[in-house]
Amino acid sequence: MYLLIIILPLFSAIISGLAGRWIGYYGSSLLSSTCILFSMLLSFFIFYEVGLSGLPCFITLFSWINSGTLLINWGFLFDGLTSVMLIVVTVVSSLVHIYSIKYMEEDPHVPRFMAYLGIFTFFMLVLVTSDNLVQLFLGWEGVGLASYLLINFWHTRLAANQSAIKALLVNRIGDFGLILGILTTFYTFHSVEYSTIFACTSLFSNYYFSILGIKIHSLSLITIFLFIGAIGKSAQLGLHTWLPDAMEGPTPVSALIHAATMVTAGVFLMIRFSVFLEYAPFSLFILTIFGSLTALFAAMTGTFQNDLKRVIAYSTCSQLGYMIFACGLSSYHVSIFHLANHAFFKALLFLSAGSVIHAVSDEQDMRRMGSLVLFLPITYSLMLAGSLALIGFPFLTGFYSKDFILELSQVSSYTNLNLSYAPFACWLGTISVFFTAFYSFRLIYLTFLNNSNIVRTKLSVLHESSLLMLLPLMLLGLGSVFVGYLTKDIFIGLGSDFWGSSIFILPKNSCVLEAEFLLTYIKWIPFFVSTFGIFFISLLHIFPLFFYNNFKYNTLFYQFAFILNKKWYWDKVYNIFLVKSLLNFGYLTSFKNLDRGFIELFGPFGVSLLVPFLSHKVTSLQTGQLSHYIFFMVYGFLVFFTFFVPGFMLDIEFNSYLIGIFCILFVFV
């Protein structure tokens, strides 16, 4: 029964993909939604039996690879961490399926869309349930392939083609890091099974590699390689550029990628390998700095974006930074708690954005909206709830996880951890709270409360979404309000044993107790910062002339805003210093000198020249003169008898002399 949760999405994908022409829009929609809903129900059962009851399950189907010391079974691991990820993936995927039935109803390729959603969900479930690194890598690559198919679903659009290829190529860099991590793990432990390598981790805590005479800590090297994979998949600073461009796909795809599946894979990987990270303090430092910088960078960039979906995309990038930040503080349970909470309000924001875009005839520029609260009151209410949960408004879902991450960073500098870099990371995270509140309410204001800038022809067709689209939004709205409160004590409560053996934290690295007794005024700092962000954006739009008159001559401000609007020029830097250089190298070295040079000369082009040349030489021997033909006959007989008939062999010197005469005759005859 446990495996049914994985098989059902694959079954629906195969039927919708191969028989979609016959079952049509209604058949593929009904089949896909039914299968994923059954998977969701099974995930709740697994959550109760495995997570709440503390009964982990190991399933081995068959031996997959057996070569030397490499033994890999096709197996599945269901523990506390897996059970939470199953809830997140199946719940969001189910609601996205239901939402897509109405959202995509006018598209002629709905069966193909449903097949892609099923493939995406299947590979994500394989990733989170795998019991070894190779099987995880299979799910990892499958998710990347499915994301390419979904982003490029409208393949006739050039922007969709470019965005899908960009997502695939950028993730290749991270995938290469993950491959190196897997190979290094096998080299160290001679196994890739979780149960084996995690049990032996403490024995290798002082094991070092010697590379060019330099000693490198083995677990630090492995975790850094794995983190490179997480940087690509979870869009951390440096490899984040694919994430905003992934918005070219249909909006339900954006919700699925950003809330529950692809981008959470990197965070899941770091949490799964918490055992390695605990014995690699340098890697924890890297995670903390990278996570906090990503949170701040993405929040600042989202502040001056005008595309509705791109603003939410940068908020995803920022929240992923918080999750990696928490992993760097050895608070993996808080990280997965924030991941689960984030899935609800992020899916709510994306699907609400889809409702808005659907209402205004596919317009995504917030500057061309306004006053939609009058036409979309339900969508406005739900999007407001999602935005408040995102900024960590008290007693909403985001408040219980994001604020706790900042509290942990506060106490990490003076507890057993004694992390000197924790206050720096804490302040970066706190500043990010301000920008998060700023862009969240800027989105609300420009979309719903600002003076209307909608084209008059679109005003007549403005309408609230249908019940089939609003129902998933309402359910996600309830999750955005209550899930954090209801699950806080289960996931991160003092004394909770929910995670069991799925997450490992060294006793000296735990500071949850100290964070609970942090001074009250320090705990309220994120709330005051977010309130200030809301207040500032409100003043900016209530008194626009005041700010315009004070900043219109401020060149520095305009340049800074322009840089943020251009996403810190990451794409331009990559295009100039990386893409252009590689293209030039590929053209001059690979294409011009090798493909069209050496290889072509001795390959197809050379052969095409050699064959006519030899043919011409052979045909030139056919002169038509009888004396030439007699000469060749005599010449052939003499050569044959000289070299092949026994007893006819003369001394070598005479034979050579005879052959020379034949050659002279051949030239002059």
pLDDT single digits (tens) 437-487: 999 999 999 998 888 888 777 777 788 888 899 999 999 999 999 999 999
Question: Is residue 487 a contact partner of residue 88, using CB atoms and an 8 Å limit?
Answer: no
Of 349, 519, 335, 550, which Cα lies nearest the Cα of 439?
349
Residue 650 has pLDDT above 60, yes or no: no
pLDDT tens, residue by residue, 282-328 = 999 999 999 999 999 999 998 888 889 999 999 999 999 999 999 99
Whether 495 shows a pLDDT value over 90: the answer reads no
Residue 571 has pLDDT above 70, yes or no: yes
pLDDT tens-digit readout, 532-551? 999 988 888 777 777 666 66
Is residue 257 within 8 Å of residue 263, measured between CB atoms? yes
Burial bucket for residue 226 (CB in 10 Å: 0-12, 13-18, 19+): buried
Q: Where are the alpha helices (DSSP H) in 69-157?
A: 80-103, 110-129, 133-151
Report the percent of the chain where pLDDT is more than 70.
Answer: 91
| Selection from 168, 157, 162, 352 nearest residue 252 by Cα | 352
More confident residue, 614 or 430: 430
Sign of CA dihedral 16, 242, 537, 459: negative
pLDDT given at position 117: 93
Q: Which residue, 189, 77, 68, is CA-closest to 128?
A: 77
Average pLDDT over residues 118-138: 93
Structure tokens at 178: 């993950």
**Amino acid 666: pLDDT:** 52
Which of 3-12, 95-104, 504-513 comes out lowest in average pLDDT? 504-513
The residue type found at 358 is H
According to the model, what pLDDT value does residue 219 have?
92
The pTM (predicted TM-score) of the whole model is: 0.87
Residue 417 and residue 329 in contact, taking contact as beta carbons nearer than 8 Å: yes
**491: which residues sit within 8 A by CB, 6+ positions away?**
84, 333, 336, 337, 340, 498, 499
Assess contact for 354 and 441: CB atoms under 8 A: no
Taking 60 as the threshold, does the pLDDT of residue 653 lie above it?
Answer: no
- Indicate if the pLDDT at residue 620 is higher than 80: no
Q: Give the model's pLDDT for residue 193.
A: 92
- DSSP classification of residue 452: P
Rounded average pLDDT over 545-568 = 73
Rounded distance between C-alpha atoms, residue 283 and residue 277, angstroms: 7
pLDDT over threshold 70, residue 16: yes
Per the model's pLDDT, the better-predicted residue between 100 and 641 turns out to be 100
Question: For the purposes of burial, counting CB atoms within 10 Å of the CB of 491, is it exposed (0-12), middle (13-18) or buried (19 or more)?
Answer: buried
Alpha helical stretches, state H, 304-396: 308-328, 332-359, 377-391
Binned at pLDDT 50, 70 and 90, residue 119 comes out as: very high
Kindly report, residue by residue over 578-615, the tens digit of the pLDDT: 888 888 877 777 777 777 666 676 767 777 777 787 77
Per-residue pLDDT of 41-70, as tens digits, reads 999 999 999 989 888 899 988 888 888 778
Length of the chain in terms of residues written:
669
Is the predicted pLDDT of residue 78 greater than 90, yes or no?
yes
| Amino acid present at 637 | F
Q: What are the residues whose beta carbons fall under 8 Å from the beta carbon of 35, sequence distance 6 or more? A: 8, 9, 11, 12, 118
